[in-house]
Structure 1
Amino acid sequence: MERLTPIGISVVLSLLVASNTFAEVPRMPTAIAVPPSDKAPLSSATRPGTEYSDLNHYGYVEQEYYLQGVAPAITAAGKTLLEAPYTTRILVRKPADPARFNGTVVIEPFSWFGERGAGWILTRDYLLRRGYAYVGYTLNVNKPAVDPKFISETPAAEAEQIAQYGRIVNFEFMRRFDFARYAPLGTYYDPAHFTRGEAPDPFAPQSQGIGAQLALLLKTKGTQSPLAGLDVQRVYVNSWAVTAQVWMDYLDQGRHQQWRMPDETPLIDAYMTGRMAYGEVGGDVIRVPRQMPEGVPFVTVFSQSELMHDVIEGIPLPPDTDTPQLRYYEVTGMPHLRLADLGTEHTERLAADIGKGDDPRCRTLYDEPVERVVSALLDGMDQWVRDGKPMPNAPRVVRDGKAAARAPATGNLQGGVRPPWIQVPSATYLTDQETGCGLIYDTKVPYSKEVLGQRYGNFNRYAQKFEDAKAVSIKEGYLLPEDAAGLHPIATPQDF
């Protein structure tokens, strides 16, 4: 080979410097196994409740670790003010047999309400069937003097929120649950220097750095990883409800481009966020990050509640594109919260609790199995990453000014992703913005026996149409064939 001249060496060095100008490797954190306790950890899939799964049946193990490191404290505007140490925790679920692992880890920050793993609840059966690893992690703070999670327009409203949720947020909740286990946890927080909009920022300032460092640790093959022995190829974000804002900030501020693996490949290979109207808790109201990730998907899933928020506020959704890889899904018949979505010690008020029990529009919650839709979307995102097969494009819900158009024949929204229970409805699915029920849950009005009879004749005909609708959803990419058998008609023979 010819030797490079001094000029040639200079050019090569310049190119190397230029290629690394905006890319940096985050600090590597440390994972330390949490000492055993006499109870299962918070958010454990082994405890009866909304997050339970039969891990043994699928050959999975669950392990909890402290995650320790030094991470930047970043404002909502994207400015790093300082770097500080932190100790948080991660909850790992992985195949006991490395041969069962499919190469992909899904990471999810737990909600600050009851440490709920919403993404796990919505996709757990799919993840376990397909051999994914899952890592949930805590993004929380010690209880501040004035907790920005509860800042409201009036002192009465703030007191009401604190009374309802105050016991299931922050590290105090975790320490009350198991003091010895969670006493060491701590992340930096300073409401005087970190604001969002006109109020203190409710999000932990180190959230972005913790997420990046966790991805680095999981993708770095070595004995220090909690996934040691597994051949990790990909890391996907699956972040729902309020924590989705963390990952919107991460993308919007260009962290995807800034923080990289040592070989300059992405830390994160796909982003799915859901059930969060970005900016609703303060800050910029945007729907697409100003610095979209290059070459990896960004997918957002709106329930009826989020899409109705944007309709009423007149916020347009962006068009789907393949370059950059962007998808928005407005899922009709999907509530903001279901009974199946609650975290540890998390309860919500029902209509009867607030004097709305006699209102026919408030009496019936809808708890339809939307995890079937979400699992299909996650599978579609995975195929986009692995095989380059673009995810399906869904129509937007039809707008009528600052209202969502409803079909006169059914009372349900037009357009959007239409699960079988919307294609073949047995109820009108509403949102709290429309009913004023005052619930975090959304409600529906079931069709009367007379209406069901007029639409379908009898239960058998209704059930057949529901089966036909399942076939449509499979073809569209919003239902996996292996989930179809477990998806049953919403109405029952007794309703007819």
Structure 2
Amino acid sequence: MRALACIVALGALTAPVAALAGVDKVDGPIPVTADSQVYNTAWVPGALPVVDLAAQGYVEQEYFLHGTADAFKRDPSGALAVLAKDVSYGTRIVVRRPKDAAKFSGVVHFEPIHPSQGGTSHWVAMSGYMMAHGDVYVAVGLGDDAPSRAISAKGPVPTAQSQVLQWFEPQRYGAIQWPKEDGIRYQLMADIGALLRSDRAENPLRGLDVRRMLVGGWSFTGSVQRTFINEGFHDRARLPNGKPVFDGYLIGISSRWNGGGYIPLNSEEAVTRNDDPRRSLKPIDVPVIEFMTEFEVGTGPGPQLPDSDAEVGAHRLYQLGAVVHGASMIDGNPPREKRPNFVQLAAKGYPVGGAKGEEALNTCSLPISDVPHGALARAAVENLRQWTEKGVAPPHAQPLAWEGGNIRRDATGNPVGGLPVAEFKVPLASYGPYKGTDLPACTPAKGRPIFVRTNLDAATLKGRYGTVHAFAKRYDAQVDAMVAQRWLLSEDAAMLKAKARRDAEAQFAAK
């Protein structure tokens, strides 16, 4: 029985046990040819973003992993017990690393692959940051989920990521065989993390000095981290020296008070109630940052875990107003169907725009909120990095403010509280739900709302700032303060200043 296949009391801290890398076989790097491509590769012409790894001195390699893992359940007493033992799997990882090992920073970013069409939001938001630092990125296939399976079963094309792989390239991905029991994902997450930090000959990162491994994920893959932590897998996933396999977690756009904020422990378990104590983030021996948008906060208004600098339970809560889930993580707000995996699928006839669960998000004709979600997320990752590497605690942020059951907004119409965003402090626009009634595509009757950017008119801007130069001076000062307070990286600050000046020049001149 593997180290994780043990019975522990709910919520009890377990003695450190070395995580055994339960990966029996590693194949790869899998060759890439004109007829056999990596799915969701970094370089896809026509995609946004498209990343030229070679120009950055990086290489991309795909590996197939095979073995067995256990799935778990809670018994009537609340103890964790084995539900299914030694379940066979075949999955994959995609590694992006410096071609020159001497340029490796020592930091690995570990992202679970999303079960719906195999997305990797952490990579699309962080790729430039990672490569600028010489980091290694690893995308890890950790299975499907009940909704993606159900949509796949209805057709006409699959949605579950393991099935999408075989639809995309059946010859290349025939070895990917994920079981119906998704609950093995938690042990497998620990096993693959341990493999990547081992001296095993099969380790794709063997020979690299991995000093830190940071987990990052958004939406479902953020929630996977919460379940991994709360069900005790982090506590038991240990290296031979007793240290944790993972050194820090960024839980993105996931709240314990949202239905999807906690992933079931196994495929038979029902979704836990939002007020279930299992959802309350458990204190662990590495830092955790939760990064939520107004959507998660507004749809789950329960109390959140407070910030802490404690050695066990280190935690930060960051809430970003005027953003809906992951719609604006990519700079420039390209439509979701422009992401590399969707461009690849569309090229093979996949109905990207109409596939249930991934409908096109560009149906609203108004400008979508361009609050710099990605830039703020990159700063959060840098803060997590400094916390784990140097013990430098990140800054504290206010929560979003409430008023009458809704997120409070200022006189301009922008949210109050949350991350100190320059777009709210020195505004050119108001950000939030479309208030009109003549554009039904901008006010969907079901599903997620759409937050739009409503520009202030020229007269209002001139009355508030006087000139473009005066606006830019105030905006730049606010951005500089954000950099000094570690809410923004300097490279992103320069990009935001240039964009704001362009926007201001156009708006001041508008008739």
TM-score normalised by structure 1 residue count: 0.81
Matches within 5 A, 1:58-457: 58-75=56-73, 79-83=81-85, 84-141=87-144, 148-149=147-148, 167-190=158-181, 204-278=182-256, 279-281=258-260, 282-285=271-274, 290=280, 292-310=282-300, 314-323=301-310, 324-336=313-325, 337-338=327-328, 339-340=333-334, 342=336, 343=339, 344-345=341-342, 346-347=352-353, 349=359, 353=363, 363-408=366-411, 410-431=412-433, 436-438=443-445, 440=448, 441-457=450-466
CA distance in 1, matches of 2:96, 2:129: 13
Q: Say if 1:58 and 1:170 are closer, same or farther in 2 by CA, change over 3 A.
A: closer
Q: Say if 1:150 and 1:20 are closer, same or farther in 2 by CA, change over 3 A.
A: closer
Q: Say if 1:426 and 1:437 are closer, same or farther in 2 by CA, change over 3 A.
A: farther
- Give 3-state SS (helix, strand or coil) of 2:414's partner: coil
* Uncovered stretches (5+) of structure 2, i.e. residues with no partner: 1-12, 261-270, 343-351, 437-441
Cα deviation digits, residues 377-435 of structure 1 (max 9, x gap): 11111111111111111111112242111112x11111110222222222221158998
Amino acid at match of 2:423: W
* Uncovered stretches (5+) of structure 1, i.e. residues with no partner: 1-18, 152-157, 191-203, 358-362
- Once the two structures are TM-superposed, the CA of residue 291 in structure 1 deviates from its matched residue by 6.5
Count of aligned pairs between the two proteins: 442
Supply the RMSD in Å over aligned alpha carbons. Answer: 3.0
Which residue of 2 is the match for residue 489 of structure 1? 499
Amino acid at match of 1:298: V
CA distance in 2, matches of 1:393, 1:423: 18
Q: Indicate if the aligned counterparts of 2:335 and 2:360 stay in contact, CA closer than 8 A.
A: no
Q: Indicate if the aligned counterparts of 1:35 and 1:181 stay in contact, CA closer than 8 A.
A: no
Q: Say if 1:21 and 1:299 are closer, same or farther in 2 by CA, change over 3 A.
A: closer
Which residue of 2 is the match for residue 36 of structure 1? 32
Q: Indicate if the aligned counterparts of 2:72 and 2:83 stay in contact, CA closer than 8 A.
A: yes
CA distance in 2, matches of 1:25, 1:135: 19
Q: Indicate if the aligned counterparts of 2:115 and 2:148 stay in contact, CA closer than 8 A.
A: no
Q: Say if 1:44 and 1:463 are closer, same or farther in 2 by CA, change over 3 A.
A: same
CA distance in 2, matches of 1:231, 1:55: 21
Amino acid at match of 1:32: D
Q: Indicate if the aligned counterparts of 1:44 and 1:51 stay in contact, CA closer than 8 A.
A: no
CA distance in 1, matches of 2:222, 2:187: 15
Amino acid at match of 2:194: L
CA distance in 1, matches of 2:403, 2:278: 23
Q: Which moved more, 1:429-438 or 1:288-297?
A: 429-438
CA distance in 2, matches of 1:352, 1:366: 12
Q: Say if 1:489 and 1:103 are closer, same or farther in 2 by CA, change over 3 A.
A: same
Percent sequence identity over aligned pairs: 24
Q: Indicate if the aligned counterparts of 1:90 and 1:136 stay in contact, CA closer than 8 A.
A: yes
TM-score normalised by structure 2 residue count: 0.79
Which residue of 1 is the match for residue 348 of structure 2? none
1:47 to 44, 60, 72: 44
- Once the two structures are TM-superposed, the CA of residue 288 in structure 1 deviates from its matched residue by 8.7
- Once the two structures are TM-superposed, the CA of residue 61 in structure 1 deviates from its matched residue by 0.7
Amino acid at match of 1:47: V
Q: Indicate if the aligned counterparts of 2:229 and 2:284 stay in contact, CA closer than 8 A.
A: no
Q: Say if 1:97 and 1:366 are closer, same or farther in 2 by CA, change over 3 A.
A: same
- Once the two structures are TM-superposed, the CA of residue 270 in structure 1 deviates from its matched residue by 0.2
CA distance in 2, matches of 1:261, 1:432: 51
